[in-house]
């Protein structure tokens, strides 16, 4: 006569209970949502600013040099770049927290051409630093101390763009060869503007007081035209870019933090 419940089922339930108990001891469930909790994190990932107008200007620059019989190749486009960020937040209550955050991102491009007579080098770079204050709404906590929050940030974006162009050719002067500088330009453009981010942040208190985090944000960061200084052989001038710099786009980072 068979027993009820079956012995095999009882053994399975007993083993499952031990496993679950081990898991909960290893990853103890404790809601992050405690009033007065501070969180500090650092993260790294990628950002993808739009910058379509800037890339069109880069293509036009290459075409202009090609039309001068300098067959320089493509300089490429600004696209996805490394991004590094920090965020410090204070949990006001179970649902709401306030934060101070910042991020840094930079990328550069280069194209050059050299033959027996002509040399041309083009360097282009952009860099952004932001400082933001934010407000987050925390969704109900998930299992194993996982949590998702909806974040809105606003603050200042400090943008910089550099453009360096250097062109020479070789001339014969008697029995010697002389290098003649035809074009030497170094431009630096800067602008500061109020912007906003919005997105989601996921946290997991894997080994308290430490936690893992990941966030996906969309930036509303059209800077428009930027002002700067251009230094050439003839001297320096102040000039505004002919191109709009739109740093709007998605960013995604992962990192680690600590509760205290």
Under the banding of pLDDT at 50, 70 and 90, the label for residue 206 is: confident
Q: Considering only 50-59, 81-90, 170-179, 245-254, which range has the smallest mean pLDDT?
A: 170-179
Q: Which domains does the chain have, with CATH numbers?
A: 31-259 (2.40.160.20)
Q: Considering only 135-144, 195-204, 214-223, 236-245, which range has the smallest mean pLDDT?
A: 135-144
pLDDT of the residue at 36: 86
pTM of the model: 0.83
In terms of Cα–Cα distance, which of 226, 29, 237, 56 is closest to 141? Answer: 29
* Look-up of token digits 């027993």: 3
Q: Which two tokens stand for residue 238?
A: 């102040």
Under the banding of pLDDT at 50, 70 and 90, the label for residue 233 is: confident
Cβ neighbour number for residue 51 with a 10 Å cutoff:
23
Percent of the chain whose pLDDT exceeds 90: 78
Regarding predicted confidence, which is higher, 172 or 33?
172
Asked if residue 131 lies in contact with residue 154, where contact means CB atoms within 8 angstroms, the answer is: no
Is 215's pLDDT higher than 90? yes
Asked if residue 66 lies in contact with residue 74, where contact means CB atoms within 8 angstroms, the answer is: no
Mean per-residue pLDDT over the chain, rounded? 89
Under the banding of pLDDT at 50, 70 and 90, the label for residue 21 is: very low
Q: What is d(CA 191, CA 128) in angstroms, rounded to the nearest whole number? A: 10
pLDDT of the residue at 15: 53
Is 12's pLDDT higher than 70? no
Regarding predicted confidence, which is higher, 15 or 34?
34
Q: Considering only 23-32, 90-99, 231-240, which range has the smallest mean pLDDT?
A: 23-32
pLDDT of the residue at 158: 98
Buried (b) or exposed (e) across 5-37, using 16+ Cβ within 10 A? eeeeeeeeeeeeeeeeeeeeeebeeeebbeeeb
Is 37's pLDDT higher than 70? yes
Is 32's pLDDT higher than 90? no
Regarding predicted confidence, which is higher, 34 or 131?
131
pLDDT of the residue at 173: 81
Any bridge partners for residue 232, and if so which? Answer: 235
**What is each CA distance from 128 to 47, 55, 125, 177, 204, in whole angstroms?**
11, 17, 11, 43, 29
Is 208's pLDDT higher than 90? no
pLDDT of the residue at 27: 43
Q: What is d(CA 188, CA 112) in angstroms, rounded to the nearest whole number? A: 20
């Amino acid at each position: 006569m068979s027993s009820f419940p079956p012995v095999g089922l009882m053994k399975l339930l007993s083993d499952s209970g031990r496993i679950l108990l081990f898991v909960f001891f290893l990853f103890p469930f404790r809601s992050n949502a405690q009033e007065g909790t501070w969180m500090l994190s650092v993260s790294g990932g990628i950002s993808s600013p739009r910058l379509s107008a800037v890339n069109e200007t880069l293509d036009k620059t290459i075409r202009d040099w090609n039309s001068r019989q300098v067959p320089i190749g493509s300089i490429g486009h600004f696209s996805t770049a490394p991004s590094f960020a920090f965020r410090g937040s204070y949990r006001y209550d179970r649902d709401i927290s306030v934060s101070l955050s910042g991020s840094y991102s930079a990328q550069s491009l280069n194209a050059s051409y050299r033959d027996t007579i002509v040399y041309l080098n083009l360097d282009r770079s952009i860099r952004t630093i932001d400082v933001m204050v934010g407000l987050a709404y925390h969704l109900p906590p998930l299992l194993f101390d996982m949590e998702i929050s909806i974040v809105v940030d606003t603050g200042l974006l400090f943008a910089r763009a550099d453009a360096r162009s250097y062109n020479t050719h070789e001339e014969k002067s008697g029995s010697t060869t002389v290098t003649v500088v035809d074009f030497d330009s170094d431009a630096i453009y800067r602008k500061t503007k109020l912007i906003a981010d919005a997105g989601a942040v996921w946290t997991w208190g894997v080994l308290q007081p430490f936690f893992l985090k990941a966030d996906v944000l969309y930036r509303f960061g059209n800077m428009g035209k930027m002002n700067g200084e251009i230094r050439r052989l003839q001297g320096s001038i102040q000039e505004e870019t002919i191109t709009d710099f739109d740093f709007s786009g998605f960013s995604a980072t992962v990192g680690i933090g600590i509760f205290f």
